[in-house]
Amino acid sequence: MAGCQGLVNQQARACPSTAILADTETVTILVPNADPLAVAAQATLSRVNSACQANAERVEVELAFQIDALRGATTDAALLELPFFVAVADGQGRILGKDIFYSQLAFDEAGVAAQVEQLVETIPLADGELPVNFQIILGFQLTPEELQYNQAR
């Protein structure tokens, strides 16, 4: 194995942990200017799974998670596009990088949509760094109003 330069399954060194950032696991899209408040759609991010492979230079983390959505009674939209983020933090909680992605959900006749998102996050490793010293954080990319709505619930 001394000459092996490729990625190997992580066994001796644990993978980076994964977490959904508090208050970003749900997004509620409100109908603009509705009084009282009317929900156009609501979605939840859940079931995060990860696996990784690493060598001395980098760790590649395969992420999979589910997004479930319900369409509100006030709209008949067939599609919903939701932004979500994936960020990498170091052992001290400092964000080292963040990417924003978009999930396309198609509602069925009952107003229900579900999508499994899969992606690979690559984290470069400096000499002596271990994958376990990093954390991958994900959630919906919320507007300030959406975040405030979640925090008030």
DSSP-derived pairing of the beta strands 17-20 and 135-140: parallel
Q: How confident is the model over 97-129, as pLDDT tens digits?
A: 999 999 999 999 999 999 999 999 999 999 889
Distance CA 32, CA 25 (A): 22
Residue 113 has, within 13 A of its CA and on its CB side, a CA count of: 25
Residue 75 has what pLDDT? 84
The reported pLDDT for the residue numbered 13 is 54
Please write the tens of the pLDDT for every residue from 11-62. 335 899 999 999 999 999 988 887 777 899 999 999 999 999 999 899 999 9
Of 105 and 74, the structure prediction assigns the larger pLDDT to 105
Residue 10 banded pLDDT, cuts 50, 70, 90: very low
Which secondary structure element, helix H or strand E, spans residue 151, and what is its range?
A: helix 144-152
Domain locations in the chain as residue ranges? 10-152
CA–CA dist 84, 138 (Å, integer): 7
Superfamily of domain 10-152: C2 domain (2.60.40.150)
